[in-house]
Structure 1
Amino acid sequence: MSLHLDFSAIIAAPYGAELLHGAKVTLALTAQSWILAVGLGTTLAVIRATGNRIADRIVAAFVAYHQNVPMLVQIILWYFGVPTLLPDSWQSWINAHNGEMFFSGIAIGLCMSAYFSEDIRSGLRSVPWGQHEAARSLGLGYFRSMRFVILPQALRISMPPFINHTVLLFKNTSLAMVVGAAEMTYAVREVENQTFRTFESYSVATAFYLAVSLGLMALGAVVARRGSVPTR
């Protein structure tokens, strides 16, 4: 049996357009989830740094839940479970406006925010206490000193795990296919079902995920190098 590969068959219309749309949806879902994850993760880390025991326990419970429940389960819960708690009119509106993207983005963002918060929290702990005292001596309150002095340093320190979790978030967007989000993996599966070219279809997906992941790592390395704290 001879091996005959034909990548042009899945790149040509209409399959190429379907794959391109899947790539765009994946990148959009990544951006949506990343913004939520970073914003919420930063907020959670700053809250824990206040030293308030009640707030610390609430955030710790949030982090424990999202780090120990599989992301796939969280996506399914948000897409199939949460809408049942909403009024029927809201459910209809969400379903008519790309609800699978909306709920997948929330689920992925919330889950990854737990990891980002721990990255930033480690960075905050690494900032010398003298920096806190210096900020306070300048008359800055807790949140202003955190915003202008402490947090920028913590972000630079936590950049390596931050980059790794960004790549992980990107790759985990493929889980959104289970709820019908037309991202790259979903598009590849559809093309494979129509063309019966399994190797070619999933090779395209592999190349896409590999290229974007390596690109994110390279971009993160540049940002980390430019934002590194001078040793002298």
Structure 2
Amino acid sequence: MAVSGSRPATKRDFPWWLAVAGAIALGVAVLIATSDLYAQVFTIVSRGIGITVFVTVVGFALATAVGLGIALMSLSGSLALRQIARFYVEIIRGVPVLVLLFWIAFAGVPIVVTGWNAVTASLQEAGILGELRVRDISLLWRAIIALSIGYSAFIAEVFRAGIQSVDEGQVEAAKALGLSRFQRFRLIILPQAIRTILPPLGNDFVAMVKDSSLVSVLGVADITQMGKIYASGSFRFFETYSIVAYIYLILTVGLSLALRALEQRMRRSQAQR
């Protein structure tokens, strides 16, 4: 018996929020096209889109690789590896990304450079290697490394939960068939875990797009930094940061919709099997 006032399970709500957001986005686009001021702000701020995309894509790729490694360590049969993985995840997750960014940029990199020079001192004396200086590592790459480390801890937990969601019976059956550990992971575990992993992994990717704005504190010329430079010189704070927010919203909402469509496509393909 249907509950009074309940909606049919098969009927989808019309995405009014998307219609309203699209109308606002279209209005801002018209404003940019018709206003010289907004057009100038958009032209300057949009120069940072390439850096924002580069930081996000490279940083997320590195974070995913490190996170997968940490997740596999946490599921290892070795107690030492599991404890190292847990230590990494808990410590990194407990530090704010902005603090981690400053620490990597101004403390971590100098420590690594000093250690590298100490280890390769004999090669440097022989003229095989040159001395590495702190300024040889750009602030852009320091920011990417910091974001990668910060997000790898969260992504490690996503991978761990996804891998553990796979039925243990299927893993045991793969062992019985004589599949190696790598074959079991590639052929049995990962294809099933990816359905659980993809939604939170997509959320982390969208979040990194937003958190990439933190690199502006190091002077990296991303969208936010270009907006700060223009606003500080023109005092057009409302116009500038409205355009900055507009560009970020286009990027994040567009990515969210694309990821949602991918998830729905994967569900349909799975249901048809």
Q: Same fold (TM over 0.5)?
A: yes
CA distance in 1: counterparts of 2:200 and 2:39, whole angstroms: 36
Equivalents in 1 of 2:69, 2:109: separation in Å? Answer: 26
1:49 is the counterpart of 2:72: no
* C-alpha distance in structure 2 between counterparts of 1:89 and 1:122, whole Å: 40
Task: Indicate whether 1:230 and 2:258 are aligned.
Answer: no
1:114 equivalent among 142, 153, 159? 153
Residue 192 of structure 1 and its aligned partner are, at CA, apart by: 0.7
Residue in structure 2 matching 1:61, options 69, 87, 106: 87
- Runs of 4+ in structure 1 over 6 Å off: none
Partners of 1:131 and 1:231 in 2: how far apart? 21
- Structure-1 residue corresponding to 2:234: 195
Conserved in 2, the CA contact under 8 Å of 1:160 and 1:224? yes
Equivalents in 1 of 2:133, 2:39: separation in Å?
A: 38
Shift of 1:17: 4.4
Cα RMSD after superposing both structures:
2.0
Summarize deviations over 1:24-77 as a string: whole Å, max 9, x none.
Answer: 111110011110111111121122222322111101111111111011111111
With 153-162 and 121-130 compared, the bigger mean Cα shift is at 153-162
Q: How many residue pairs end up in the alignment?
A: 222
- 1: CA distance between counterparts of 2:170 and 2:162? 13
Question: What are structure 1's unaligned runs of at least 5 residues?
Answer: none
Residue 51 of structure 1 aligns to which amino acid in structure 2?
Answer: G
| Aligned-pair identity (%) | 29
Counterpart of 2:63 (choices 15, 37, 46) is 37
Which letter maps to 2:68? T
Alignment partner for residue 28 of structure 1, among 23, 44, 54?
Answer: 54
Residue of structure 2 in register with 1:125 after alignment: 164
**83-92 vs 109-118, greater mean Cα deviation:** 83-92
Partners of 1:224 and 1:92 lie apart in 2 by: 43
Residue pair 2:158, 2:197 contacting (<8 A) in 1 also: yes
Provide the rounded CA distance (Å) in 2 between the counterparts of 1:180 and 1:154: 39
Q: 1:158 offset after TM fit, Å?
A: 2.0
- Which stretch shows the higher mean deviation, 144-153 or 69-78? 144-153
For structure 2, the 5+ residue unaligned runs are: 1-30, 118-130
Structure 1 counterpart of 2:107: 81
Contact 2:109–2:142 (Cα < 8 Å) also in 1: no
Residue 218 of structure 2: aligned partner: 179
Does residue 9 of the first structure (1) align with residue 9 of the second (2)?
no
Shift of 1:221: 1.2
- 2:180 equivalent in structure 1: 141
3-state DSSP of counterpart to 2:271:
coil
CA drift at 1:126: 1.0
CA contact (8 A) 1:10 1:191 kept: no
Which shows bigger deviation, 146-155 or 53-62?
146-155
Distance apart, 1:185 and its partner CA: 0.7
Shift of the 124–89 alpha-carbon distance from structure 1 to 2, 3 Å rule, reads closer
Q: Cα distance, 1:225 vs. partner?
A: 2.0
Aligned amino acid, residue 155 of structure 1: I
Q: Structure 1 CA distance, aligned partners of 2:156 and 2:272? A: 26
Shift of 1:215: 1.2
Cα distance in 2, alignment partners of residues 46 and 231 from structure 1 = 31
Take 2:186 and 2:106, find their aligned partners in 1: how far apart are those partners? Answer: 38
Residue 93 (structure 1) aligns with: 136
* Greater Cα shift, 18-27 or 65-74: 18-27
Letter in 1 for 2:102: I
CA contact (8 A) 1:10 1:195 kept: no
